[in-house]
Amino acid sequence: MLDTEQNSPVLPPEIDRRRTFAIISHPDAGKTTLTEKFLLYGGAIQMAGQVRAKGQARNTRSDFMQMEKDRGISVSASAMSFEFRNFWFNLVDTPGHSDFSEDTYRTLTAVDAAVMVIDGAKGIESQTRKLFEVCRMRDMPILTFCNKMDRESRDTFEIIDEIQENLAIDVCPASWPIGVGRDFLGCYDLLNDRLELMDRADRNVVGESVEINGLDDPKLAEHVPAELLEQFLEEVEMARELMPSFDHQAFLDGTLTPIWFGSAINSFGVQELMDGIGNFGPKPQVRPADTRPIAPDEPKVTGFVFKVQANMDPKHRDRIAFVRLCSGHFRRGMKLTHVRTKKPMAIASPMLFLASDRELAEEAWAGDIIGIPNHGQLRIGDALTEGEQLRFAGIPSFAPELLQSVRSTDPMKAKHLDKALNQFAEEGAAKLFKPVIGAGWVIGVVGALQFEVLASRIELEYGIPVRFEPSQFTSARWLTGPQEDVDKFIDINKGHMALDHDGDPVFMTRLQWDIDRVERDYPALSLSATKEIL
Ligand code: G4P
């Protein structure tokens, strides 16, 4: 049987009501504030302000260190589950800082939809664009929230045009703002014909909602001053003429984004957005694997690890693997097969993350994110199944943009350093390259801040003082091709070769010219800046 609305098979009700999504935005657009309001309306927290610590721990080194120490916050904030009306939302956090973008890209492989938050005064910013492009590659449905409408913001048409032109996606207004800045009154909900008025007095209270019978309902004039009303009616008329109306299929195909205008801090427009995620957002989707596509309603459980995070207790070196369940009905205590090692794993204490709390997950369904504590067996990209040998496709690993060599300033601890570095590589916090010739390691990261975070964590968690030093290389590329050619190449270019954490060969250089030369002289080989983790 097909669900005609989403053109997909009818799912068991528990899977059907799941919505798994991430928020993408440029730092400061209001992601943390919006998350907080989601949790507030989802009944997961009692008061706004509880996830604030994370929002403040944004940009500076010391804040990151604090966050690392305070791993409780960062762990539980990686995934948050809560109910809203009849829906079960799984919100997966994407780190805001651009230094951690690889983590963000991977996170996006675990969700079915994204909410794009933009600042009404700033429009599309660099990080929003990058993340949007990742979503676009996967044709992921995107809902847009234009935030900070309580402040001076750009003209509504200008904002919509910018999204359409910059991101090449159709935009359909789901609401229309009335007044700007100080005069911002609220929005007209174009999908439900309601007037939503903002309450500036209490930020945690939703303003008045007035049911309106179309735009010529005289009730509008009772709530909107004449000069604003005239302009608003003109704008809506124009918008309806110029802009596409809401087309659910186009949204699910990722070619049209509905936009809501609001103010997260004033709790305004947030519930309408949540209704949008619930009513229109995709249900858990079919996932591509190397052998066949996996449908969410298949009875057997499958899932993959998209993130690994060190646990709160550094003494035990426990880690939590975040797993996106792709199919089936998971129950605590189940024995799943760890596909990479082919070993069975009893999942005795899976966790669900409920805002600032975590609790044992007695059960979970396709679409859910569960945390599995482990001692390092689970790596990013690993699949868990009920015995089937399969691997989920599309989990990317990017070539690092910065390389440095690392050594312990205490020679007695060199061996322990190997262990620490391996752990961070497994967590995905850094790339680890072992040069074919000589001792030591080359560490690759995406942003400079990561070196500092790493040095501090190695010292804090392993008691090893380390120093990062410039490496003679600046670029790393994965080398693939027929085994014989690869072996021959490695033999001739030993000084440039290393093996990554999985034992895959990597070519390192400081010259783009070198990369071009290899591509020209060795047509059977290819050098790649990304590797799909399989
Ligand atoms: P981020 O996670 O995307 O980086 O953004 P975050 O929510 O931390 O918000 C960034 C800043 O924008 C915060 O101010 C926040 O209070 C403010 N903000 C969020 N939503 C709105 C809104 O609807 N209207 C207005 N006017 N401001 C909003 P801050 O000064 O950096 O922090 P704080 O002192 O308020 O905590």
Kindly report which listed range (26-35, 58-67, 361-370) carries the lowest average pLDDT score.
58-67
Q: Is the CB of 95 under 6 A from ligand 1?
A: no
User: Which tens digits make up the pLDDT trace of 76-102?
Assistant: 457 899 999 999 999 998 765 555 566
pLDDT for residue 355: 61
> Which residue ranges make up the annotated binding site for GTP?
25-32, 93-97, 147-150
- The three-class DSSP label of residue 138 is coil
Residue range 445-466: mean pLDDT, rounded: 84
Contact 402, 446 (CB under 8 A): yes
Ligand 1 centre distance from Cα of residue 188 (Å): 24
CA distance 473 to 509: 5
Q: Is the CB of 55 under 6 A from ligand 1?
A: yes
What pTM was computed for the model? 0.81
Ligand 1 centre distance from Cα of residue 120 (Å): 12
Contact 113, 402 (CB under 8 A): no
Q: Is the pLDDT of residue 398 over 80?
A: no
Nearest CA to ligand 1 atom 15: 30
Contact 55, 74 (CB under 8 A): no
Tell me the best of 119, 265, 267, 270 to mutate to test the pocket of ligand 1, counting ligand atoms within 8 Å of each CB and taking the most. 265
Ligand 1 centre distance from Cα of residue 264 (Å): 8
Tell me the best of 25, 32, 33 to mutate to test the pocket of ligand 1, counting ligand atoms within 8 Å of each CB and taking the most. 33
Q: Is the CB of 258 under 6 A from ligand 1?
A: no
| ipTM computed for the complex | 0.98
Task: Please list, in sequence order, all residues whose beta carbon lies within 8 angstroms of the beta carbon of residue 83, skipping any fewer than 6 positions away.
Answer: 42, 43, 89
Mean pLDDT, rounded, of the chain: 86
Rounded (10°) angle between helices 156-167 and 126-137: 50
